[in-house]
Amino acid sequence: MRIVIQRVSEASVVIDNSKVATIQKGLVILLGIENDDSQEDINWLCNKTANLRIFPDDDGVMNISLKVSEGDVILVSQFTLHASTKKGNRPSYIKAAKPNIAIPLYKAFIKTLQSTLGKSIQTGEFGADMKVYLVNDGPVTIIIDSKNKE
């Protein structure tokens, strides 16, 4: 399981010209799911995300976590995070989980992150053609892969 975290000062998700999610200060998290991902990957990533100290303290040092900052979250599923570009010019998505595997894990990720943070998060829509608008604050963008824990 792979996530791209972007610290934002504002963000929104639009589907079919309708805004489905909007936040101010917080994180936009892009989530890519592989076939062999499990609840263990979800637990580790949600804990890491909630406690990652990437918000500025009073001195402007990145020392505050999402949990402490009380920032909001938009979570967006994105199978293209598992693109392989080793051969040719057309990416292969063979490592990305098919919907029958990915949807239950996506829903479990939402539930686990909400539980970890102690509040609701906003989401895009699995499989939809979405427009993600954001103002990357910093900019701060971090990629975390649950298969690279050590």
101/118 Cα distance (integer angstroms): 26
Residue 89 neighbours by CB under 8 Å, 6+ apart: none
| Residues recognised as catalytic | 78-80
CA nearest to 105, candidates 11, 30, 43, 39: 39
DSSP state of 95: T
